[in-house]
Structure 1
Amino acid sequence: MTLAQAVVAGAERAELEHLDVPSTYRAAHLRKEEVGTFDQHDADKDVRRTIHVGEVPMPELAVDEVLVAVMASAINFNTVWSAMFEPIPTFAFLERFGRVDPRHDLPAHVLGSDAAGVIVRTGAAVRRWRVGDRVVTSPAYIDGEDPVTQHDGMLAADLRAWGFETNFGGLADFAVVKATQLLPKPRHLSWEEAACNMLCASTAYRMLVGERGARMKQGDVVLLWGATGGLGGYGVQLVKNGGGIPVGVVSSQDKAELLREMGCAHVVDRSQFDDLTDEKSWRRLGAEVRRQVGEDPAIVFEHTGRETFGASVYVAKRGGSVVTCGSSSGYAHEYDNRHLWMKLKRIIGSHGANYQECHEVNRLISLGLVHPTLSTVYPLAQTGDAARAVQLNQHVGKVGVLALAPGEHLGIEDHELRARIGEERLGLFRPR
């Protein structure tokens, strides 16, 4: 029996420790030789052309790392950027990292910033985790010896997004992570449900709830772009749980109905605004929010970037905040600064989440207070198709990927909690 087969069969710790680690493993990866595949004039940089699934070499473990047998993973937009080689090829990150840790500077870049699985090896310095533990991963890869990480890991000078700015990510049968990325797998969730949460849920938590974000309070009106997407679906839940008033922006009636099923009573249809870079559309958007809730948003939850940022700055209330963690529609933002400085608004930059924030949001998930936004699941062999769906915005919530797990709905341990929550709530984003 191989190590992978033993994990799937539910083998005990002693057997897992006895079996050999394979010299190669199956992974979704990019090839350095294909950098430059897309011309700057290409209208469609189809990520299926550059994402490959096949065998890659197994790396050695550092003393503070663990080897996880990955049961399931998920697609994040950083995988799309990686496969498009934008804004720069991720091999540039690996080359730079390679000066510190040569293991990462390889001809193949294994992608993926989310995973759920079973620990099969631990480095010599790992104390809190053991072979056989079921875990989920958080995406921040940091040097714990940097003093600032004791204050906030996201301020570390060498902060890297695992599986994006590092190698050996989660879209694979095995993954290498630092011990400080690990959290206990929520026992009531299946492998694919557990694998889809941490990057987006923790990012939304830091943006809205964490002391370094917008610090939402009860009664705050929060406008959320892409409210049924990977980030927005968790943002809506966190706003509702915290006593805020979510106003979700979506692009279709199906997504609007999904928001209402989530308990988000206030929904804005983005398609009614012709050009969100134009101030006339900003004014109409602000009027629509006031019509529905009676006031301007205290917080605008931003991650779409160029297409919406000017509108976000405009519609935030006097003294309000725009909290941003990304720019999926482009990084070069334009906004009218008069609406920022004359109305005392703030722009808050937010990136990922530190280990404590990841712990806090994983606790909420484990208690059944925040639920997965998983909508679709692909096998690892079809990772390119999964990333393509995200690239074209053909999805809602999160897109999952099965690695070693032979099928969906496996890995559930706490059936009682699952029954209390209900399959309908846990599967709200799934097709019915």
Structure 2
Amino acid sequence: MQEILTAIQEGAPGEDLAALAVPESYRAAFVRRDETELFEGLDSADKDPRKSVHVDEVATPELAPDEAYVAVMASAINFNTVWTSIFEPLPTFGFLDRLGRESVWGERHVRDEHIMGSDAAGVVVKVGSAVRNWKPGDRVTVHCNHVDDQDPTAHDDSMLAANQRIWGFETNFGSLADLTVVKANQLMPKPAHLTWEEAACNALCNSTSYRMIVSPHAGAMKQGDAVLIWGATGGIGGYATQYVLNGGGTPVGVVSSPERAELLRAMGCEHVIDRKEAGYKFWSDEHTQDEKEWRRLGKDVRGLIGRDPEIVFEHPGRSTMGASVFVAARGGKVVTCAATSGYMIEYDNRHLWMKLKRIVSSHFANYREAWAANRLICEGKVQPLLSRVHPLTETGEAALAVHRNEVEGKVGVLCLAPEEGLGIDDPEMRERVGEDKITLFRRLGS
């Protein structure tokens, strides 16, 4: 990998990169099959990714015809990294075993280690015989929709594919490594004005938020719509806030501290609710929700914008879904993509059916949506949310920080890149976009 890195740093042409031998092994962060019971009996909050995440050499898999080897310059932490590392809601090796039964190429994914990671920026070093649109030397970002386009269910909307998976979570050979294997239809151009770590942090969360807010498959926000955004400075909430502002909507951002409220206002969000200051207690005990608290939230939202929100951007799940359904406007929608506080949700169905509201599910994004979201990053219209960076050797610590909700936006991880700040190919564009905009989360969210 050092030869490959040197060639990249020296600007070697693609044919020279292609001529380099791909090593038989590479450095990666992974969890082990024989440690899936490591945290048995512990509460989620007490599970420590530093104990389960290993960084060591792993064997390089063979390349399929529709795949590419990408030298990973930088990656990022997502909640699925945390889930993988603490073996919740179940160990991910079951996903790998299921993939292994599908095909000869799927069998490669069945290993005793699961290499994690679903975000990457890097350089293509070799492509399979069926790859048309990409070549060695291309600087790319990688989105995480892993889908077999030979299946008819993948057409129309590939997120509906029967075998749709999230790369690095439901597949092996993820991005928290010096090398990764991806399908050619996961590749997108790297934003030329961003560093490796800034470019690496966007694809999963930015694409997810694009589908939830912009796409007709989910939010389909119109100009003038009000959108209540839970965790509005978080990994997906920060992108959602930008999409609402860019699209002529009115964001109402919910955060959990004065510092996060300050960061949100710096992003241009005028209407902010600090839920800890407000002291909402949507659950009076672990079995009972308190509708008075839903009503108090609704009153606070109306006090800010004068009406109920047409869209609620929902991802905490159990802790907030009852409130989300209640506060959405008559005829409005709750768009949900996750359940970080618990999967078994409860809400009062009367507030849904009698006011003709909808709950709309959304999961990552198809290639077209991911490409459109990436283009907005490339054009400087959406900014990265990078707040801190760790080396690959500290992947466990980085995952722990996300697990404990200690950081804003995204946590980057340097893989092959030897230091921060590298990879900017268009400094003039960076100057036009504005250093203060690009680095807002580094300055206020770290």
Match of 2:228 among 223, 227, 233: 223
Match of 2:441 among 419, 429, 432: 429
Distance 1:136 1:41 in 2: 36
Partner of 1:17: 18
Residue identity opposite 1:66 in structure 2:
A
Distance 1:14 1:221 in 2: 51
Distance 1:289 1:10 in 2: 53
Partner of 2:378: 366
Unaligned runs of 5+ in 2: 284-289
Partner of 1:304: 316
Measured after TM superposition, the shift of residue 41 of structure 1 is: 3.7
2:276 aligned with 1:275: no
Distance 2:144 2:7 in 1: 26
Measured after TM superposition, the shift of residue 414 of structure 1 is: 1.1
Instruction: Decide whether the 8 Å contact of 2:74 with 2:197 is kept in 1.
Output: yes
How do 1:8-407 residues align onto structure 2 when only pairs under 5 Å count?
8-42=9-43, 44-100=46-102, 101-271=106-276, 272-277=278-283, 278-407=290-419
Distance 1:340 1:198 in 2: 33
Distance 1:36 1:336 in 2: 37
Distance 1:23 1:413 in 2: 30
Instruction: Decide whether the 8 Å contact of 1:7 with 1:69 is kept in 2.
Output: no
Residue identity opposite 1:79 in structure 2:
T
The SS at the match of 2:335 is: strand
Distance 1:249 1:111 in 2: 30
Larger deviation, residues 307-316 vs 36-45: 36-45
Distance 1:352 1:276 in 2: 28
Distance 1:249 1:49 in 2: 33
Give deviations 1:43-80, integer Å, cap 9, x for gaps: 50111110111111000000000000000000000000
Measured after TM superposition, the shift of residue 148 of structure 1 is: 2.9
Distance 2:311 2:78 in 1: 24
The SS at the match of 2:421 is: coil
Measured after TM superposition, the shift of residue 268 of structure 1 is: 0.5
Distance 1:259 1:144 in 2: 39
Unaligned runs of 5+ in 1: none
Distance 1:52 1:126 in 2: 32
Measured after TM superposition, the shift of residue 13 of structure 1 is: 1.4
Distance 1:403 1:146 in 2: 34
Instruction: Decide whether the 8 Å contact of 1:8 with 1:405 is kept in 2.
Output: no
Distance 1:352 1:405 in 2: 27
Distance 1:346 1:273 in 2: 27
Measured after TM superposition, the shift of residue 157 of structure 1 is: 0.1
Distance 1:330 1:44 in 2: 16
Measured after TM superposition, the shift of residue 2 of structure 1 is: 2.1
Distance 1:333 1:86 in 2: 17
Distance 1:273 1:221 in 2: 23
Instruction: Decide whether the 8 Å contact of 2:154 with 2:162 is kept in 1.
Output: no
Residue identity opposite 2:247 in structure 1:
G
**Count of aligned positions:** 432
Give deviations 1:139-190, integer Å, cap 9, x for gaps: 1000011123220010000000000000000000000000000000011111
Measured after TM superposition, the shift of residue 7 of structure 1 is: 2.5
Measured after TM superposition, the shift of residue 16 of structure 1 is: 1.1
TM value normalised by structure 1: 0.99
Partner of 2:287: none
Larger deviation, residues 143-152 vs 19-28: 143-152
TM value normalised by structure 2: 0.95
Identity of aligned residues (%): 60
Give deviations 1:341-400, integer Å, cap 9, x for gaps: 111000000000000001111111111100001000000010111100000000000000
Larger deviation, residues 31-40 vs 316-325: 31-40
Residue identity opposite 1:31 in structure 2:
R
